[in-house]
């Protein structure tokens, strides 16, 4: 079974631009979560989607948004990019059988550099 895939793997943008990152979960997984990893702040939760609904959100500004499609694929968007948005963005998927606590499987990440 194929793992979580993320596209693109690398991205360079300039301040003020917007960016869209894509995540395809493992087949059959219905929950997708997004995380930001930076040297200074570590791994931080952005949001989680299940059946096209955002169920949980981290402490990030409104410039960070996401969505999930009916096939469980997910996208996250960052508008008006700032230098501090440079990070590795990780997507994780899980097979939801109960309300929570399932193992999350991570993709390789998208490395975003904002100049």
Window 39-78: contact mask with another protein (x via CB under 8 A): ---xxxx--x-x----xx-x--------------------
d(Cα 17, Cα 28) in Å, to the nearest integer?
34
Return the number of the residue (16 or 52) whose C-beta is nearest another protein: 52
29 within 8 A of 95, measured Cβ to Cβ: yes
d(Cα 74, Cα 32) in Å, to the nearest integer?
7
Distance of CA 6 to the CA centre of its chain: 9
Return the number of the residue (70 or 103) whose C-beta is nearest another protein: 103
We find the least distance from the C-beta atom of residue 62 to another protein, in angstroms, to be 18
∠ CA 83-85-86, nearest 5°, is 80
Contacts with another protein, residue ranges (CB under 8 A): 4, 31, 33, 35, 42-45, 48, 50, 55-56, 58, 90, 92, 94, 99-109
């Amino acid at each position: 079974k194929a793992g979580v895939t993320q596209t693109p793997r690398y991205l360079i943008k300039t301040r003020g631009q917007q960016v869209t990152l894509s995540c395809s979960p493992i087949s059959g997984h219905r929950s997708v979560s997004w995380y930001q990893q930076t040297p200074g702040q570590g791994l931080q939760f952005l949001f989680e989607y299940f059946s096209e609904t955002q169920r949980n959100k981290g402490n990030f500004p409104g410039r960070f948004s996401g969505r999930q499609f009916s096939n469980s694929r997910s996208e996250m968007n960052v508008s008006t990019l700032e230098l501090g948005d440079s990070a590795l963005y990780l997507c994780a998927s899980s097979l939801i059988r109960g309300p929570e606590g399932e193992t999350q499987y991570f993709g390789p990440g998208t490395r975003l550099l904002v100049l």
